[in-house]
Structure formats: C-alpha cells, structure tokens
Amino acid sequence: MGQTKVAALRERLTQASHITVLSGAGMSTESGIPDFRSTGGLWTEDTARMEAMSRSYFLSHPHQFWPKFKELFQMKMSGDYEPNRGHAFLANLEKQGKHVDIFTQNIDGLHKKAGSQHVYELHGSIQTATCPSCRTTYELPYLLKEEVPVCQRVSSGGRTCGRVLKTDVVLFGDMVKHFDQVERSLQQTDMLLVMGTSLEVAPARYIPEDAAQHPSIFKVMMNLSETEYDSLFDLVFHERIGDLVKTL
C-alpha cells in the first residue's frame, strides 16, 4: 500500500465537504455476503436463475417466484450480516460533518444499518416488498414468515387485498432506481469514491464517465482487481477496502 497515495487520499478527504460514493459487491463481501456475479458465483452456476429473477417471471408466476427468490437470497435475507469497516468509514465521514451521498448496487441494507443517512439503493432492497395494487409496503420479518407473502390490507368494504407482494429488489427488466439523483450529486460534490465494484453493470458503469466531465471532482477507485475504467481516476487502490480504510 503506497503511503504517498494514502496520504494524498487522507488530505483530499479532509478537504472535501461533499462526497459521492458508488459501492458494489466488494463492499458487501467483506461482511461475508457472497458476490453473486463473480466467477463461481450463483449467477454463473445456473443462468436459468436469471430468468427466474426477472420482472416478467414474477408477473406470470408470482407464487413460484417467491420460493426461488428466497432460495437464491437466503443468506442475504437472514439479517445476520453486519456492516464492516468500509460501511463504518463512510458513516464516520458523515459524523465529521461531511455530506456523503451513497449510491449502492447492493441490496443488503448494510449502509443504512451502519448509520449513513443519504443512501440511494440503485438495485432496491431485500428488506422490503410492496403490493403491486395498493402500494402497501411490508418489512423483512413478514416476508420471511410467509412462504408466498401476500398483501393483508383490508379495504373499507372489508375485503382483503390478497395480491402477491413484489420484492423491492430491482429484478431483470425493472428500472434502476434513483439514477436521476446521481447527476445532481455530481454537480455538487468534491470527490467521487468508487468502492468495491468493477463497473461491469450499466448504468452504474457510466458514473465515472459522467464525473470525468467535472474536472473539479477528485476521483478515487478502491477495488480488489483492475477495471477498464481505472484511467479515469486520480487515485487507484487495488486492495481490500477494510485494510485501506483501517490505514486511513
């Protein structure tokens, strides 16, 4: 770990008042959560899983969707995982009085659990599900209790809705959330921190290119492996996030 680079990052972090963060699976793996897209991950084991995790499959087979969804994400749904040093690092930046916008590709809710206030979950959250009809939202304990969670809302006429809930995770075929907020954040920010993502998934992969249009933004990449976008960054660290922030 280059001490000169670490010192440069520390100085920039001290100076920054507004920080924009893009986090990916590498942030969550340090909490023990598997990277579903990595080589050997669950997505690569069975491409049929991808079809089952699509909006079209949910709409046509809602009762079959939930058992498949729960099987695939059972570890993430257990609620046993805790924020790691990387999550705590970002939450502590806020405690120092900085404005930190976190745009995460992760669905585990660990940024919020760590105490960060401005978290935008681009791919949604596994912590909730919403009724497609009446938009009532249900929390994780109810989703875990019911094999196929349905809406329990009772209308003024005494009729129970009963519609199968749709997970708030962004499925294949759904629109990514909060992406309009990214540009607003980049207009105001001093620094872009990309943490734990190889930038292989659109539209998050375009954020560094957007940031490059703003010369005043200092851009930092923290990822275990090289990415094809490394050249866009002012500082690049290829190491575990927890080790790096511990040094900081």
Give the position of tokens 């094999």: 147
Q: Which residues contact 40 (CB under 8 A, 6 or more apart)?
A: none
Report which DSSP code applies to 73: T
The rounded Cα 245 to chain-centroid distance in angstroms is: 19
Report which DSSP code applies to 185: H
Beta strands in the chain (DSSP E): 18-23, 99-104, 119-121, 124-130, 137-139, 166-169, 191-195, 218-222, 235-237
Residue pair 156/134 in contact (Cβ under 8 Å)? The answer is no
Is 151 marked as binding a ligand?
yes
Beta strands in 59-211 (DSSP E): 99-104, 119-121, 124-130, 137-139, 166-169, 191-195
Is 131 marked as binding a ligand?
yes
**204, exposed or middle or buried, with CB in 10 Å at 0-12, 13-18, 19+?**
buried
**Any idea which residues carry the catalytic annotation?**
123
The annotated binding site is made up of: 131, 134, 151, 161
The annotated binding site for Zn(2+) is made up of: 131, 134, 151, 161
